[in-house]
Structure 1
Amino acid sequence: MLSVDTKRPAGPAGRITRVETLALGTAWRDFGYVRLHTDQGLTGVGEITHPYRVAETCALTEAMGRRHLIGADPFDVEEIWLRMYQGDFLRGGDIGGIVVSGVDQALHDLMGKALGVPVYRLTGGATRDRVRVYANGWYTGEREPEVFAAKAKATVAKGYTGLKVDPFGAGLHELDRVELRRSLALVEAVREAVGPDVDLYIEGHARFAMATARRLVHELAPYDIGWFEEPLPWTHIERYAELRALAPFPISGGEHFHNRYEYKPLFATDAVDIVQPDLSMAGGFTELRKIAAQADAHGMTVAPHNSNSPLCTTASVHACLGLTNLTVLETFDGLLEPYVFDAVKGALPIEDGHIALPERPGLGIELADEVFAEHPPTHRFWNMFAEGWEKRNRT
């Protein structure tokens, strides 16, 4: 079970012969990808982006590929997932979790291409005709109410019916009185700008102490928000349920967990109302469906996290189509340079705040090597605990 078995007949995709990684630099962050090749001439792609450590995820992907993927049948997804996790002695964590996630995406891409069907046909089919998405990253720039209001209006004019914003400045644990008033003024300005029919999600980035989070739950109540995301550090997961009991709106989170095992305390403590696994961090298609099923069993819905490239957005759409307890999908696609879409050819476009049913086999995406050559990694780092983090190194 924990080694490649080349004696069994291979499926229609053949066997994996090569594991390749690529990295693309942007003004925000570097995007990482894995591309698997088979002896049947097929290639499958997946995203292995880490906010700061793409070089490390690429290196581990190639090393794990040599150990666990060469000679494997892409259709043996459950066995390959176990082999990479258990066989490589992963003990959770971001880099290994991202590698397993991206490889799993690439395996599903190969299977879809071999069978001539979109990936969502392999992961539960479609329970809806399109996937609703919300915009994030639209508020980069100066933290002034009029600036946020204008940008929120412009984003909604593109067809989005949901926006997420982190209104809080630099800091950890607490907000002083001036910062608290400024943050709430930003939320108020956005709500007034977009009106009552647009969902407004507030990001906490897991950085507040309980007393501050409790104060914010009270202060945010008038703005009819869709959820308050990760208000507490996950080192305090046992206090999430306490905060939920006080909140008149949903509490969400879960992007920092990388498989069903890491999610166990979240479910055991009923920490959130809305679970936010990331397809490129939580174990890929194979694991996301299991996490969503556990969420359903706990009366929770799923709003996948997606702060990655349009490849992950497209792959996440395939995953979301089969989720019966889906709320909405996150996107940063509006933040990105046009060449990013040239690099991941075939990424699904956002139209009127939704992404339509995919039609092409697999994920429908091919990587354009020449674009990667023109835009090498930048190794950027934005520190959300430093003044001006919200500008994301753009000014």
Structure 2
Amino acid sequence: MLTVDTTRPAGPAGRISRVETLQLGTAWRDFGYVRVHTDEGLSGIGEITHPYRVAEVCALTESLAGRHLLGADPFDTEEIWLRLYQGDFLRGGDMGGVALSGLDQAMHDLMGKALGVPVYRLTGGACRDRVRVYANGWYNGERDPDVFAAKARETVAKGYSALKFDPFGPGLHELERAELRRSVELVAAVREAIGPDIDLFIEGHARFAMPTAVRLLRELEPFDIGWFEEPLPWTHIERYAELRRRAAFPISGGEHFHNRYEYKQLFATEAVDIIQPDLSMAGGFTEVRKLAAIADTHGMLVAPHNSNSPLCTTVSVHAGLGIPNLKILETFDGLLEPYVFDALPGVLPVSDDGHVGLPTAPGLGVELADEVFAEHPPTHRFWNMFEDGWEKRDRK
């Protein structure tokens, strides 16, 4: 344990022989990927996107692979997960969580290809025929009620039955009275635009001190929202349960946590109604299945976070098909340039009724088109969501 054992017979995928990383630049953010090769000629891929540290995660992923993966059998997912997490001793925090997640995805891709089955067949099978998704990123424009309302209508017209957005501008700790009114007006305009039958989720981005969060519970109640996401900073996790008891709608969160150990206090304090682990941050298939099971013991639902590329959408669909307490999946796919999809041939499309259906291809069914990556190198863009105008997502 914690060292690669090459004396055991290898499975049908062979042994890991090489690991490489790639980066793709877009107008929004850089996406990161890992590709793992075996001595049987197979390759598996995973997403290692970090919001602002993609290059650093790529370097860490390659280092981890050199220390803990070469010669390993990709079918030994539990041992590989432990080795990647525990083997560096100081764990690795958010970047380590992203690297481990992408490598775990690649192991499952390799297993599926070796066996000739889609990954979801290896992670609990399907307890549904499709996964419902909601749109995020659709509101990248002027923070004006008419603008947001028009964009919301356009998004619903594409078939989405659920939307999420952050109406709070650069808010932090508190909102000035004018900003509070403006934020509420944005929510009101969007709800009126989409009507009563579309789910509307409100993102808090862990912005607010308790008094402001409590005020927002009252202000948001008339708009029949599906959840209020991360209203408080996670440094104040002990206050989430108190806020949750006051809310007339569910409280969600969890994207900041990278494994069951970091989630431990969230579960212990009954902090949320809905957990939001990210398949490219919270440990990949191996760990998110455990998080979903623990959530089920607490009567919580699962709505995976996914502010990543269409590869993570595909990964999340494979995982979500086998999660009994799945609620819905996030996607930013509608925000992205067409070449992103060219770089990831085989990603699962969102249907015109806001769902993603059963995959059929072996593994994840996706490859990386190196020539497209070469045409679109990293941009190293950065936008600060506590800076005025962040929602335009055009910062450099």
TM-score between the two structures when normalised by the length of structure 2: 0.99
Residue-by-residue CA offset, 1:215-272 (whole Å, 9 max, x unaligned)? 0011000000000000000000000000001000000000000000000000000000
Alignment of 1:288-367 (within 5 A): 288-351=288-351, 352-367=353-368
Alignment of 1:199-278 (within 5 A): 199-278=199-278
Query: Aligned partners of 1:325 and 1:297: how far apart in 2?
Result: 10
Query: Aligned partners of 2:181 and 2:171: how far apart in 1?
Result: 15
Residue pair 1:90, 1:96 contacting (<8 A) in 2 also? no
Task: Look up the equivalent residue of 2:374 and give its one-letter code.
Answer: A
Alignment of 1:40-189 (within 5 A): 40-91=40-91, 93-189=93-189
Which position in structure 2 is the counterpart of 1:195? 195
Which position in structure 1 is the counterpart of 2:386? 385
Task: Look up the equivalent residue of 1:378 and give its one-letter code.
Answer: T
**Counterpart secondary structure, 2:339:** helix
Aligned-residue offset at 1:394: 6.7
Residue-by-residue CA offset, 1:99-128 (whole Å, 9 max, x unaligned)? 000000000000000000000000000000
Residue-by-residue CA offset, 1:3-46 (whole Å, 9 max, x unaligned)? 00000000000000000000000000000000000011100000
Query: Aligned partners of 1:63 and 1:246: how far apart in 2?
Result: 46
Aligned-residue offset at 1:88: 1.2
**Counterpart secondary structure, 1:367:** coil
Residue pair 1:279, 1:306 contacting (<8 A) in 2 also? yes
Ranges of 4+ aligned residues in structure 1 off by more than 6 Å: none
Aligned-residue offset at 1:90: 3.7
Query: Aligned partners of 1:179 and 1:251: how far apart in 2?
Result: 22
Residue pair 1:92, 1:262 contacting (<8 A) in 2 also? no
Task: Look up the equivalent residue of 2:168 and give its one-letter code.
Answer: F
Structure 1 segments unaligned to the other structure (5+ residues): none
Query: Aligned partners of 1:89 and 1:321: how far apart in 2?
Result: 34
TM-score between the two structures when normalised by the length of structure 1: 0.99
**Matching of residue 5 in structure 1 with residue 5 in structure 2:** yes
**Counterpart secondary structure, 2:185:** helix
Query: Aligned partners of 2:319 and 2:125: how far apart in 1?
Result: 9
Query: Aligned partners of 1:224 and 1:91: how far apart in 2?
Result: 41
Task: Look up the equivalent residue of 2:386 and give its one-letter code.
Answer: F
Query: Aligned partners of 1:29 and 1:385: how far apart in 2?
Result: 17
Aligned-residue offset at 1:91: 3.4
Query: Aligned partners of 1:35 and 1:78: how far apart in 2?
Result: 19
**Counterpart secondary structure, 1:348:** coil
Query: Aligned partners of 2:171 and 2:201: how far apart in 1?
Result: 20
Which position in structure 2 is the counterpart of 1:376? 377
Residue pair 2:130, 2:358 contacting (<8 A) in 1 also? yes
**Counterpart secondary structure, 1:366:** coil
Residue pair 1:119, 1:318 contacting (<8 A) in 2 also? yes
Residue-by-residue CA offset, 1:47-84 (whole Å, 9 max, x unaligned)? 00000000110000000000011000000000000001
Task: Look up the equivalent residue of 2:147 and give its one-letter code.
Answer: V
Residue pair 1:92, 1:259 contacting (<8 A) in 2 also? no
**Counterpart secondary structure, 1:184:** helix
Task: Look up the equivalent residue of 1:189 and give its one-letter code.
Answer: A
Query: Aligned partners of 2:138 and 2:93: how far apart in 1?
Result: 29
Aligned residue pairs, count: 395
Query: Aligned partners of 1:234 and 1:103: how far apart in 2?
Result: 27
Task: Look up the equivalent residue of 1:27 and give its one-letter code.
Answer: A
Task: Look up the equivalent residue of 2:384 and give its one-letter code.
Answer: N
Query: Aligned partners of 1:386 and 1:340: how far apart in 2?
Result: 27
Query: Aligned partners of 1:190 and 1:388: how far apart in 2?
Result: 19
Alignment of 1:271-286 (within 5 A): 271-286=271-286
Task: Look up the equivalent residue of 2:360 and give its one-letter code.
Answer: E
Aligned-residue offset at 1:144: 0.7
Cα 1:92–1:325 change in 2 (3 A) is farther
RMSD, matched Cα: 0.8
Query: Aligned partners of 2:157 and 2:62: how far apart in 1?
Result: 43
Structure 2 segments unaligned to the other structure (5+ residues): none
Query: Aligned partners of 1:90 and 1:84: how far apart in 2?
Result: 11
Residue pair 2:98, 2:282 contacting (<8 A) in 1 also? yes
Query: Aligned partners of 1:242 and 1:358: how far apart in 2?
Result: 41
**Counterpart secondary structure, 1:45:** strand
Task: Look up the equivalent residue of 2:174 and give its one-letter code.
Answer: E
